[in-house]
Structure 1
Amino acid sequence: MPADAARTDEEWTSLGRSVLLRQLALGARSRHQLDRKLAEREVPPSVASALLDRFVEVQLIDDAEFARMWVRTRIAAKSLSRSSLRRELAEKGIAVELVEDALEQVSDEDEIEQARDVVRRKLRMSADLADRTVREKEMRRLVGVLARKGYNPGSAYSIVKEVIAGAAADAAEGAEPEG
């Protein structure tokens, strides 16, 4: 008989509590993530459920706050689209209604401006945008950058086209001799 099978509920509870506190010390976690961690450590489901319920009750676990914080930090650090954030939160076991509430922090305008900022930062200033081949290559590259951040291809193309047109106009303006 394995040593773990001989543990009492009290011992399992103590182990589970230690696992949860260690995980939360590393950073915020969703209930689902913590439940998986307890399962990895083979904490019995009844003990895990009771511990998780208690941690929710004392507000050490709060999936709604976790989702809001996740959205804020991932937007600031990675400029991800709402669709990418929605997928990431779903993978972390956050309920759909909590995900949607957290995503309300980001308006359509915020998301578009964020995408423009990404394109402006990634646009190669050395690229000769007057050259059609170079401009098209740069557009494909930048649309790909936005696509990897979860922006849909149509929106990504429109945003890249707009930013490149603005950059090309600025470059042409700067090239004109002063009168």
Structure 2
Amino acid sequence: MPGRIGSTPAHVPPDAGGGDLEPDPVEIAREMALRRLEMRDYSRAELAAYLVRRGAEPEVVDQVLTRLESVGLVDDARFARSWVDSRRRTKQLSQRALAQELRAKKVDAEVIESALARDDEVDGEGERQLALQACRARASRVHGLEHEVAFRRLAGALARKGFETSTVVSVVTQVLEELGGGREGNDDF
């Protein structure tokens, strides 16, 4: 198949140099993986999917990724911890949302559980504080809206971050009370 890793490039004549110029598919896949890893950490499954999309054979991908794991360049546990730290800091996501993202990246369930257990926001109060912080950050956007509209918008934002319904209701109610000066049902924040 033309263009696949391991096929003779179109610009190299088949008889040039006695046939020893056939590119090594393992070396090509390794170089692609290393270039990808220069940007950020990736899970093994993400790199495998990338290499297969780029034309590497599954056996070659497995060989390359096994070698990269053995030298510590691919490490799903490190990737998961880094992902949790980054997404917590930048997106203020809940434990549930973080787990869902890592599952989508095909990280093993035990690795996900371990990464989330190391997270300093893991307890219920930590989640509530994170939700409160996220809600307060968005509160200025609902200033002047009717109470129900403001509630819906803030609740929707927190729900998309994966927070539990009870946490969402409690936090949004608290923030709207803070905005309204403690007056329940204030239509003009």
Instruction: Sort the TM-score into its range (normalised by shorter chain).
Output: 0.7 to 0.9
- Listed one character per residue, the Cα deviations across residues 152-174 of structure 1 (whole Å, up to 9, x for unaligned) are 33321111112222333368xxx
Q: CA deviation at 1:32?
A: 0.3
Contact 1:127 1:135 in 2 (8 A): no
Q: CA deviation at 1:120?
A: 1.0
**Other-structure match for 1:160:** 172
Q: Which amino acid aligns with 1:142?
A: L
Q: CA deviation at 1:125?
A: 7.9
Q: In angstroms, what is the RMSD of aligned CA positions?
A: 2.5
Q: CA deviation at 1:71?
A: 0.4
Contact 2:155 2:168 in 1 (8 A): yes
Contact 1:116 1:163 in 2 (8 A): yes
Q: Which sections of structure 1, spanning at least 5 residues, go unmatched?
A: 172-179
Q: Which amino acid aligns with 1:123?
A: A
Corresponding residue SS for 1:28: coil
**Other-structure match for 2:159:** 147
**Other-structure match for 2:115:** 102
Q: Which sections of structure 2, spanning at least 5 residues, go unmatched?
A: 9-20, 184-189
Normalised by the size of structure 2, how large is the TM-score? 0.80
Q: Which amino acid aligns with 1:75?
A: R
- Listed one character per residue, the Cα deviations across residues 34-77 of structure 1 (whole Å, up to 9, x for unaligned) are 00011012211111111101100100001001000100000100
* Match for residue 127 of structure 1 among 129, 139, 143: 143
Normalised by the size of structure 1, how large is the TM-score? 0.84
Identity of aligned residues (%): 32
Larger helix proportion of the pair: 1
